[in-house]
Amino acid sequence: MKIKNAAAELSKLQDEYKEMTAIPDAYSANELKLKEKELANKETEYQNLLKKYELQKARGVNQNQLEVKMAKENLEDTILYAPVDGVVLNLAKKAGESLTDEDDFATIHENKVIKAVTKVIEYDIGQIKVGQKVYVSVEALPDKKFTGQVTKINALPEQDSSGLVNYSVEVTIKDPDAELKDGMTCTVTFVQKEVKNCLIVPYKAVRMVNGQQVVTVLDERGQSSERPIKTGFTDGSSVEVVSGLQVNETVIFPDTVAAKKAATQ
């Protein structure tokens, strides 16, 4: 029955295509192309059914068994399996709509890998290296900060309308969660040096006195005194204190109206 139906449908399409080609001026080139594709797909379907039938017939399967077997195989053919692991981002068709072998059915985000692409001006690109750590902040998720690394630096320059030369840099985000979506706007911070769990004070609080770095410390009685310290890494606004201060000591400095306690970061 399946073969007979396919043969009837194929014959109908052949007649329709023959009529269309007989009066090509009545149809657009796109209509002719679509009908030709539909006919080719139906011919392929019909030939596949014939091959299945002949193969099972040669194996000695009776007609009823053959129809049941073919029905099961046809049912299996209606199930689509993704070629890779990932997340479905989009379906091209809705339930009940038809598509051909050449149509895209679904868009899959493979392996849940999220990448960000940013541009770095030529004056800074020399400081960017593949494998370099980055922090990524997303405007849509202001309370979250993601970690990643540089995975690709485009060697070809891009020039904007003002004449500024930029290079495209690709960043792969580690362990992205489900809230991070394709197309979100983000800010990428490249880490050149990083110090964790360190004692910091405001950069303005540190002064040089006789070649020694010092800060002004306020004790429990409200008395201030200078304390020599040794500093380490700075980001321009805060500075790491390697020695000379303890956590929660109060440091004061000029041009401020409030004291600042030493803190860890």
Q: Per-residue pLDDT tens, the chain, 265 aa: give them.
A: 567 777 788 888 888 888 888 887 888 888 888 888 888 888 888 888 777 777 766 666 566 666 777 777 777 777 777 777 777 777 777 777 776 667 777 777 666 678 899 999 998 999 999 999 999 999 889 888 899 999 999 999 998 888 889 999 999 998 787 788 778 889 999 988 888 888 988 888 898 988 899 999 988 888 888 999 999 888 778 888 999 898 888 888 876 445 555 555 5
Residue range(s) defining the domain that contains residue 86 = 82-111
Q: Write the CATH number for 230.
A: 2.40.420.20
179 CB-contact burial (10 Å; exposed 0-12 / middle 13-18 / buried 19+): exposed
Same domain as 149, residue 130: yes
Identify the DSSP state of 262. Answer: -
Same domain as 65, residue 51: yes
Contact between residue 225 and residue 213 where contact means Cβ atoms under 8 Å apart: no
Number of domains in the chain: 4
Give CA–CA dist 241/249, Å, rounded.
12
Q: Global pTM?
A: 0.46
Contact between residue 220 and residue 203 where contact means Cβ atoms under 8 Å apart: no
Same domain as 122, residue 101: no
